[in-house]
Each structure stands twice: as C-alpha cells, then as structure tokens.
Amino acid sequence: MSSHGPKIPMTARKGGALTGDANVPGDKSISHRSLILGALSVGETRVTGLLEGQDVLDTGRAMQAFGAEVIGHGGGSWSVHGVGVGGFAEPQQVIDCGNSGTGVRLIMGAMATSPITATFTGDASLNGRPMGRVTEPLALFGAQSYGRQGGRLPMTIVGAADPIPVRYTVPMPSAQVKSAVLLAGLNAPGQTVVIEAEATRDHTERMLRGFGAELSIEETGDGRVITLTGQPELTPQEITVPRDPSSAAFPVCAGLIVEGSDVLVPGIGLNPTRAGLFITLQEMGADLTFENERIEGGEPVADLRARFSDNMQGIEVPPERAASMIDEYPILSVVAACSSGKTVMRGVKELRVKESDRIDAMARGLEACGVTIEEDEDTFIVHGLGAGQVPGGATCASHLDHRIAMSFLCLGMAAQKPVSVDDGGPIATSFPIFEDLMGGLGATLTRDAE
Ligand code: S3P
C-alpha cells in the first residue's frame, strides 16, 4: 500500500469476536526522530523496532539526501551514519516528504541553521497543510523560505549562514513546531529557548538529552520552558523504539466495540504526553487494563488488554487533555458512536490541519453511517447510539488520511452493516501491517475492486 499509488477501496464487516495478541509497529514520532538525530550525530546510531511505514521511509531518504548513510537491515533494524550538527550537505534533488507533516517540519528545522538550500514537497494532503507555523520561528534564526500562498509546499528553505539563537513561544499546541525550533537551535550558538503553554509530546527533548545535548526544562506559570545549548557534539545511540500508542489505539478500540472481543496489545509506549486516549476510555467505562507496566529504552511501557465493553458512556473530554491524544480523536469518535449518550470533545481545532480536516472527515462519515454529530471550529460532539447500534452501510472518504481510513474500518467491524473507505492506501504511512494484524485477530476486512 502506498499513499502515492492507486486508490485501494476497502470494506470491514461485522464478524466474530476479535481475540489474540496485536503486535503493533514502532512509534512513528520516535522513528522519525531516531533517523534525524542519528543523522545529526557523528558515527553510527543503531535503531531497532523502527516503524517501516512510508512516512518514516521518506524521512530516511531525506536524511540520505542531506548526506547521512541510512541502512535497513530488515525487521525494523536500521543504522544511521550521521554527519554531525552543522554537517548537512545540500541535497541535489527536491525532498519529497510524501504524506508526513512530522517529517517535513522536523527536517526543515534540522537544516534551517546550515548554509544550504533545500526544496520540499509532498502529496496533495501535505501540500495543503500550513508551513508558516514552522517557517515563522525559523526566520528568527535567519532562515528564509519561499513557498506557495498561505505558506504551503512546495517550498524552498535557504538556511541561515550565520544563525542566531532564539527565544520562541509556540503559539499553538504543536510538538512538530517545538521540535523544529529545537532542531534548528542545535546549530545556533548560545541558548535557544522554546516555551509551550501546553505540554505536547516530549520525545524530542528526551532524545536530545539521550544523544548528549544540554537541555533543561522548567515548569513555570507561562508553561514549559525548554532551554537548549547550541552546537553540541551529539553522540550516536542504540535506540529501541517502543510500539506506537497511536497505532495501538485501533486494535484496542476495535476490541472494546466488537462483541465478545479480548485483545492484548503488548509493549505499548505510555509516555504521559501520549496516553490521553486510554485515560479517556477508562473514564467512559471501557474494560481496559494495563498489565506488566515497565520502563523500556527510557519510556514507560505496558501491555494493554481491551475487552468488549457493552456499557460505555459518553463523557466531556477535558480540553487540556487534547495534546496528549490529538491523533486519537478520530478513533475516539468511533468509540463514542458505540457508547451511550453524548461525547463532547472541545479544544480540538488542531484536528482541522492534520493529514485532513479530521473533524469534517469523521463528521461526514459518521453521519453517513447513521450517527448524529455536532461541530464548530473547535468542538466535536458525537451522540452515541450504544454498543452494536450503529447502522453503518456507507462508504466514507479517507481524504489521504491513514487515521480516518483505519477509524472507519474499525467502525465497520462493529456496525450493523458493512462500512467501506474509498482508499485504504494511506494506512501504509503509519501502520503497514494493519490489514494482516486486524485479520489475525479475526476481523473481516477486504479489498474491493475499484
Ligand atoms: C507529531 C506531532 C503531532 C501529531 C503528529 C506527530 C510529532 O502533530 O499530530 O502525528 O511527532 O511531533 P502537531 O505538532 O501538528 O500537533
């Protein structure tokens, strides 16, 4: 499956219970950062459990274009021979980041303080997403950008030859923007300070420290103040990538809504900046347990067990939890449809600038499946019908968005009539084994002739 290839229409229908172990792939956020920070170290970084999804492979190719050597050894094992902070070479070709906002934004940050020029592009989804949120802070370092109207890709970044460190308050909750600024700060002299009002995923901070950068974090009345000392020599690392909680969300939620299910999802990364969905599900009354909690590779990890829960209730999801579950709202809205009462999701406008406008995509598809929704710019409300009560029987548009496609396919496993998606191709960006894994649990998932 590829987000660049022909459309792959798919259908999920109600079958038996989902049972067994679901070994989901490596964390996408950590995989991107492993390749980028490996490329910014001098020597060999070895990575196991890397997500071999299209998004991460595109980042690997980009790192090669900037001069690093990136070698796959099979089975998620990779090595990166890095060129060091400030060592990026000028790419000879346009950098195609495919579908990946994380890839392009982090790489722009990583190259913006080197005296090189690079041009970035992506697929129709990525080329429609705002890049001004990254190029504005990068301009403070001295980088210039030339893109399409509205700060859209394709875009050329001219890196700063003489970068200056910055102090920047990130205006929206975005780990991508925070990370782009920190990666740019690596090659600026002195201290770069990034302030975020709401804590977003902190993998960049954890990993920068792991690679030997000097980085301090202070919790203040204004939020988290992150101070990075520039121009460190990063030391290559051995990285074990934990399994992705955002991918685990699909078999976990499918297990909760498909009658009779009992699914175990082992070794899931439970970094508190990523775990909001699981807390929310427990508040809704999900039969979800954390087993064998442990620390692996510096990240908290547990085995998640999800059993069919026929009495989940809608809740108000606290807006301050949004950053810790931002990618999980599409699948949460499916669980909400299979619960009783109203689930209210506020403070979620960032969903409108993801791989698709995720509020709009889920709202239209859920309506087509017989679910009542309400929305405004920053709010999404789902009126739940209860377990086994969603009619289904629609084809939903996935809008080049992997999480939209997977969410509707999970709904199809529990709805009264089958649910189809017009294109399951984008699933390969983050969860290339989704079909096999869900099929292995007992799901009835088919590819349809176009
Ligand atoms: C990511 C940050 C989030 C998230 C994306 C991965 C990251 O995006 O939606 O899937 O790895 O930093 P934003 O920074 O736009 O919130």
Ligand 1 centroid – CA 81 distance (Å): 26
Decide: residue 130, CB within 10 A, 0-12 exposed, 13-18 middle, 19+ buried.
Answer: middle
Give the ligand 1 atom nearest the CA of 106. Answer: 12
| Mean pLDDT computed over 218-242 | 97
Structure tokens at 51: 């997500």
CA pair distance 66, 187, nearest whole angstrom: 15
pLDDT surpasses 50 at 252? yes
> Choosing from 202, 327, 401, 423, which is the catalytic residue?
327
Ligand 1 centroid – CA 68 distance (Å): 24
This prediction's pTM: 0.97
CA pair distance 214, 228, nearest whole angstrom: 6
Does ligand 1 come within 6 angstroms of the Cβ of 176? yes
pLDDT surpasses 60 at 1? no
Distance of CA 216 to the CA centre of its chain: 25
Summarised one tens digit per residue, pLDDT across range 7-43 is 999 999 999 999 999 999 999 999 999 999 999 999 9
Give residue 296's pLDDT: 83
Ligand 1 centroid – CA 267 distance (Å): 21
Radius of gyration of the chain (CA): 21
In the chain, the percentage of residues whose pLDDT exceeds 90 is: 97
pLDDT surpasses 70 at 199? yes
Ligand 1 centroid – CA 89 distance (Å): 26
| Mean pLDDT computed over 154-164 | 98
Three-state SS string over the chain comes to CCCCCCCCCEEEECCCCCEEECCCCECHHHHHHHHHHHHCCEEEEEEECCCCCHHHHHHHHHHHHCCCEEEEEECCEEEEEEECCCCCCCCCCCEECCCCHHHHHHHHHHHCCCCCEEEEECCCCHHHCCCHHHHHHHHHHCCEEEEECCCEEEEEEECCCCCCCCEEEECCCCHHHHHHHHHHHCCCCCEEEEEECCCCCCHHHHHHHHCCCCEEEEEECCEEEEEEECCCCCCCCEEECCECHHHHHHHHHHHHHCCCCEEEEEEEECCCCCCHHHHHHHHCCCEEEEEEEEEECCEEEEEEEEECCCCCECCEECHHHHHHHHHHHHHHHHHHHCCEEEEEEECCHHHHHCCCCHHHHHHHHHHHCCCEEEEECCEEEEEEECCCCCCEEEEECCCCCHHHHHHHHHHHHHCCEEEEECCCHHHHHCCCCHHHHHHHHCCEEEECCC
Does ligand 1 come within 6 angstroms of the Cβ of 175? yes
CA pair distance 409, 419, nearest whole angstrom: 6
pLDDT surpasses 70 at 291? yes
pLDDT surpasses 80 at 297? no
| Mean pLDDT computed over 210-217 | 98
CB 304 within 8 A of CB 278: yes
| Ligand 1 binding pocket mutation candidate from 125, 176, 299, 401 (most atoms within 8 A of CB) | 176
Cβ burial 208-227 (10 Å sphere, 16+ → b, else e)? bebbebebeeeeeeebbbbb
Does ligand 1 come within 6 angstroms of the Cβ of 174? yes
| Ligand 1 binding pocket mutation candidate from 58, 102, 133 (most atoms within 8 A of CB) | 102
Of 126, 186, 113, which is closest to residue 155 (Cα–Cα)? 126
Ligand 1 centroid – CA 411 distance (Å): 24
Does ligand 1 come within 6 angstroms of the Cβ of 99? no
Residue 303 bears catalytic tag: no
Give residue 299's pLDDT: 82
| Ligand 1 binding pocket mutation candidate from 31, 174, 359, 406 (most atoms within 8 A of CB) | 174
Does ligand 1 come within 6 angstroms of the Cβ of 114? no
CA pair distance 257, 261, nearest whole angstrom: 8
The residue written with tokens 């509707």 in the block is 408
Summarised one tens digit per residue, pLDDT across range 81-113 is 999 999 999 999 999 999 999 999 999 999 999
Does ligand 1 come within 6 angstroms of the Cβ of 261? no
CA pair distance 331, 102, nearest whole angstrom: 20
Q: Which residue puts its alpha carbon closest to atom 4 of ligand 1?
A: 327
CA pair distance 431, 1, nearest whole angstrom: 10
178, 187, 281 from 224: Cα distances, Å: 11, 22, 27
Give residue 2's pLDDT: 38
pLDDT surpasses 60 at 3? no
Give residue 4's pLDDT: 60
Ligand 1 centroid – CA 350 distance (Å): 10
Does ligand 1 come within 6 angstroms of the Cβ of 29? yes
Summarised one tens digit per residue, pLDDT across range 347-364 is 999 999 999 999 999 999
